Structure 1
Amino acid sequence: MPLRSRLAMLVATAVAVAVAAVAVACWFVTRAQLQEQMDNSLRNVQPDLGYLAQTLERCTSVSTKASADQRPGAYNVQVVQPNGARCVGRGSEAVVVQQQDVNVALGLSPWARHDAKAADGSPVRVYTALASTPIGTLTYSLSRPLKEVDKPLSTLAWVLFTVAGIGVLAAGAAGLWVARTGLRPVDKLTGAVEHVARTEDLTVRIPVEGEDEIARLSRSFNAMTAALATSRDRQAQLIADAGHELRTPLTSLRTNIELLARSEETRRAIPPADRKALMASVTAQMSELASLIGDLQELSRPDAVREGPLEVVGLHDITRVALDRARLRGPELTITAQLAPWYVRAEPAALQRAVVNVLDNAVKFSPPHGAVTVVLDRGVLTVRDQGPGISAEDLPHVFERFWRSPSARALPGSGLGLSIVARTVRHAGGEVSLAPAEGGGTLARLTLPGAPTPPPETAP
């Protein structure tokens, strides 16, 4: 069943149960009140003593001067004897004598009140008590038909049933209307989701009204589509930037390979020096492509996916290995290091690659015979070079993918190194920044939180 139908049925059922409970309670309360009124009316009747004496005279031949011969009021009257016999008054209907009536006649109880059957089988309400007459104390029973109570109760039951039925139908209709009104925003949300699934249009937004759960759901949907649209735009931008970056080395590589192939086809040998330079260019372009592809694979992984589990590693050890590689790439540079022990929780391979990228930038931008200073002190790794530095307008973009300053576009690289550095450091819970150094150059700062020092390995 649709949700609105279930809500309407739930409302109708709840109203039906409530109305039924109220109707039943009303019926029983009314019944008790009517019975109490009848009992009070029977108890408050002052019996005609002459009528009682005359009734007893017809049954026992006791002489009396009583002359009353008519039933007093709308009550049935009969005299109950201790042996259970009854003397029915003239004009009254006989009622079956029960043990409660006999107990009153025997003096075991001052009065009795109960339901009984008349001689014709109709239910009656009976009140039995004692009365003092000129011929002695008599036990009399007054009774009234219970139809005086049952008839209004039956009418009340039909009225309650009719009203309850109308109320349930009205509640069902109201519940259906409320469900349709309340679920209208859900219908809009459903239509928006189906539209996105059908057209992949992530610009759809749902108007948000109020602060209820539906409004929260609408805001969450809008935030989700905005995030998906941003992610898709970034993906498209990454593909476009990657294609642009790949085009240059591929074009150069194809040109060099075509030149080598034409030399073989025409049997015109390339001078050895030119051939050596050509092969060196091909090797460099292939290395650049391999590095670019590796960087793209690194950045293509979602932020929640890591290369491996986090481990406690020594940042000083990783920096020392990265320094060895940096010295090989810049043998003419003076690279000095002061590394204090510091342990962090990170991915060893990713962290090493981030430190290597920072040192590679320092080596790449340092002038010939320049100096690079590396310091690790209490979790802060600083790398300073003596290069041209970074302008103030370029600083906000240094960690963007494929971004390269105008002075660096002529140098090898993909523009992804610092993006990888920023991503790796943030995964480890740290921060990274670049700033102009005093006296010229660039100062790179990596701040990583410490981790418990691993226990020393015991010798076998």
Structure 2
Amino acid sequence: MSQEPAGSAPAPATGARPGLKERVAHRYRQLPLRSRLAMLTAVAVAIAVAASAAACWLVTRDRLTEQLDETLSQQAKDIPGQYAEALRAKCNSPLPGDARLQLPTPYTIQIVTADGTVCTSWEKTRIPAQGSDVAVARGQAEEATHTTRSNDGQEMRVVTRAYRGPITDARGNQVAISVASPMAQITDPLSQLALILLIVTGIGVLGAATAGLWVARAGLTPVDRLTEAVEHVARTEDLTIRIPAEGEDEIARLSRSFNSMTAALASSRDLQQQLIADAGHELRTPLTSLRTNIDLLVRSEQSGRQLPPGDKEALLSSVKAQMGELAALIGDLQELSRTPETGPGGAAAVPVVALHDIVDSALRRARLRGPTLDITAELDPWYVRAEPAALERAVVNLLDNAVKFSPEAGAVEVALHKGELRVRDHGPGIPEEELPHVFERFWRSPSARSLPGSGLGLSIVARTAYQAGGTVELRAAAGGGTEALLSLPGAATPPPDLPVG
């Protein structure tokens, strides 16, 4: 039998009912946002009003009590002189327990002896002497102030002062004079004030709740519009919807962000649809030609009528070329659709590569494709942060364009200096009106449509340059031909703490 270690707390029972705090929090989270805002506003105002009311009540109580104490203290000073004869006649002898003073005053006046005996006004109820009163009578204190109850249960405020005069107790000791007044003159106004403050607090809380609900409803109207727009987009996939954004507050910023997001999504969807349509259009021509050639070969085999060797070889060469064209087109499409590989570190995860080595490798491939061309190169060291495969593909595309449009036995000049790669050919050049379109997907110059290619090469170059933080430009070269400029940020030496990719 297993035993629990001593002192361990019992495990909570599975499926135990949540406590009051959890239930209240759950109910609160289920409320609409405007109701929660109104509730929070009402609670905040209730706390503020309650604190203000409590402070007002306490200050009023203290001030009224202070005024009453000052009045009683002054009476305790004045009464012995005003009623000296009466005090002397009645109290200048041993005081009996029921001694009474007939004094025309609204206050309760008592003489307190050192042994705690009191002599009270005739028409007033006796107030038992307290320890502080006796201490004053014995000369241990000059004055005492306190609240107590008379014999009939009435709450009284009492001020006792030492008396220096002809009145003494039976042993000749000095006595003290106590002057008292009912606390009702303070508690009654305070009760009325508390009732008024309670009513005002209730009205304030109700008003705050109403105002909070109104403010929440007015403030959340743009949020409601945003919610409706999001629901509309989710329901209809209509990305043309826009939300009016006025001002510079958080709601306006949120609305502008939503509008920017829907515009970006709409643009992305349009580009996607355009890419699919253009890809389908570009694939249709080689597929049709390929299908025609294959049909001819199949029909020849099925009918037993062999094609002439020359025609059959031409068909097979055409099929091979079209398959290569399809493979190149599919590769270009994959390159355009590929997401850049970045790790958790963002740009820091992209390796540092030697651009001059990549250009040198691409030059070897370009010389194989244009064996009759004079390709010269001047390459200075330059290190950039980019994806090696994508960067090499971009450089190869620039060199392929130069090789493709160069005349037989022409020249191609390549130079890399301070991060700017210049590729210059001596071909027919690009008309000025066509230069703005050269980086568009599937765009091909009318003069180049008979040449092999997918129309995606320069789009890949532009995309790679943008991802590496650089630029690319095509312009007419002096003396004829075209000059391509690829500029990439970097340095002439690699960072010492990073390996070169």
Query: Fold match, TM over 0.5?
Result: yes
Residue 209 (structure 1) shift: 1.3
1:53–1:133 CA contact under 8 A, matched in 2: no
Shift of 1:115: 1.4
**Equivalent of 1:34 in 55, 64, 75:** 64
Corresponding residue to 1:324 among 339, 350, 364: 364
User: Which moves more between the two structures, 282-291 or 322-331?
Assistant: 322-331
Residue number in structure 2 paired with 1:18: 48
2:245 pairs, out of 177, 184, 208, with: 208
Q: Which amino acid aligns with 1:28?
A: L
Q: Indicate which of 407, 410, 417 corresponds to 1:370.
A: 410
Q: Quote the offset at 1:305 in angstroms.
A: 6.1
Residue 34 and residue 435 in structure 1: after superposition, are their counterparts in 2 closer, same or farther (change >3 A)? same
User: Any residues of structure 2 matched to 1:287-306 within 5 Å, and which?
Assistant: 287-302=324-339
Deviation at 1:33? 1.4
Specify the code of the residue in structure 2 equivalent to 1:374: V
Deviations 1:44-63 (A, max 9, x none): 223222332344268649xx
1:305–1:231 distance in 2 versus 1, CA, 3 Å: farther
Query: Does 2:207 correspond to 1:167?
Result: no
How far residue 85 of structure 1 moved from its aligned partner, in angstroms, is 1.1
- String of CA shifts for 1:249-300, please: whole Å, max 9, x gaps: 0000000011111111111111000000000000000000000000001101
User: 1:100 maps to which residue?
Assistant: 132
Q: What's the secondary structure of 2:313's corresponding residue? A: helix
SS at match of 1:291: helix
Note the alpha carbon deviations across 1:436-455, whole angstroms, 9 max, x for none. 11111111122233343488
| Alpha carbons 1:84, 1:97 under 8 Å: kept | yes
SS at match of 1:394: helix
**Counterparts of residues 336-415 of structure 1 (less than 5 Å):** 336-415=376-455
Q: Which structure 2 residue ranges, 5 or more long, are not aligned?
A: 1-30, 169-173, 497-501
2:85 to 47, 50, 55: 50
1:112 corresponds to which of 115, 119, 144: 144
- Alignment partner of 1:261 out of 298, 306, 315: 298
Distance 1:197 1:60, change over 3 A: closer
- 1: CA distance, partners of 2:270 / 2:430: 28
Matched residue, 2:104: 72
Q: In the TM superposition, what whole-angstrom CA distance separates every residue of 1:102-135 from its partner, at most 9, and x where no partner exists?
A: 2222222232221122112222111222446665
- 2:159–2:178 Cα contact (<8 Å) kept: yes
The 8 Å contact of residues 148 and 156 in structure 2, kept in 1 or not, is answered as yes
CA contact (8 A) 1:128 1:141 kept: yes
Report the Cα distance in structure 2 between the residues aligned to 1:195 and 1:303, rounded to whole angstroms: 32
Q: How does 1:264-279 map to 2 (within 5 A)?
A: 264-279=301-316
Q: Percent identity?
A: 62
1:138 shift after superposition: 4.7
Does residue 1:283 correspond to 2:291, yes or no? no
Deviates more, 1:246-255 or 1:119-128: 119-128
**1:418 matched residue in structure 2:** 458
Amino acid across the alignment from 2:35: S
RMSD: 2.2
- The change in CA–CA distance for 1:323 and 1:177 in structure 2 (over 3 A counts) is same
The one-letter amino acid paired with 1:157 is: A
Decide whether aligned partners of structure 1 residues 87 and 450 sit closer, same or farther in structure 2, where only a CA change above 3 A counts. Answer: closer
Is the Cα contact below 8 Å between 1:78 and 1:92 reproduced in 2?
no
Q: Aligned partners of 2:276, 2:342: CA distance in 1, in Å?
A: 20
Quote the residue 1:65 is aligned against: none
Could you give the per-residue CA deviations for residues 138-170 of structure 1, whole angstroms, max 9, x where no partner exists?
532221111221111111111111111111111
SS in 2 for 1:402: coil
- After superposition, the Cα gap between the structure-2 partners of 1:435 and 1:138, relative to the gap in structure 1 and judged at 3 Å, is same
2:19 matched to which residue of 1?
none
Relative to 1, partners in 2 of residues 1:340 and 1:21: Cα closer, same or farther, differing over 3 Å? Answer: closer
**1:310-353, Cα deviation, whole Å (9 max, x unpaired):** 33333333222222222222223222333333333322222221
Q: Using a 3 Å threshold, how does the CA distance of structure 1 residues 95 and 412 change in structure 2: closer, same or farther? A: same
Shift of 1:375: 2.2
Output the CA distance in 1 between the equivalents of 2:401 and 2:197.
89
- Evaluate the alpha carbon distance shift between residue 157 and residue 353 of structure 1 in structure 2; reply closer, same or farther with a 3 A threshold: same
Secondary structure of the 1:127 match is strand
CA distance in 2, matches of 1:134, 1:313: 114
Aligned mates of 1:20, 1:131 — CA distance in 2? 45
SS in 1 for 2:352: strand
Q: 1:79 to 1:293 in 2, by over 3 A?
A: same
Q: Retained in 2: the 8 A contact 1:312–1:343? A: yes
TM-score (normalised: structure 2): 0.84
Deviation at 1:79, TM superposition (A): 1.7
Higher mean C-alpha displacement, 389-398 vs 127-136:
127-136
The corresponding residue for 1:64 is none
Partners of 1:71 and 1:311 lie apart in 2 by: 106
2:374 maps to: 334
SS at match of 2:490: coil
2:177: which partner in 1? Answer: 140
Q: 1:54 to 1:91 in 2, by over 3 A?
A: farther
Q: Report the CA distance shift for 1:37/1:271 in structure 2 as closer, same or farther (over 3 A).
A: same
The total of aligned residue pairs comes to 448
TM-score after normalising by structure 1: 0.92
Residues 55 and 89 in structure 1, CA contact (< 8 A), matched pair in contact too: no
What is the deviation of 1:379? 2.7
Alignment map for 1:192-271 (pairs within 5 Å): 192-271=229-308
Preserved CA contact (<8 Å) 2:406 2:427: yes
Which amino acid is the alignment partner of residue 66 of structure 2? Answer: E
Q: 1:367 to 1:171 in 2, by over 3 A?
A: same
- Cα offsets for 1:406-440 (capped at 9, x unmatched): 11111111100011111112322322211111111
More moved, 250-259 vs 359-368:
359-368
Deviation digits for residues 199-226 of structure 1, max 9, x if unmatched? 1111110001111111111111111111
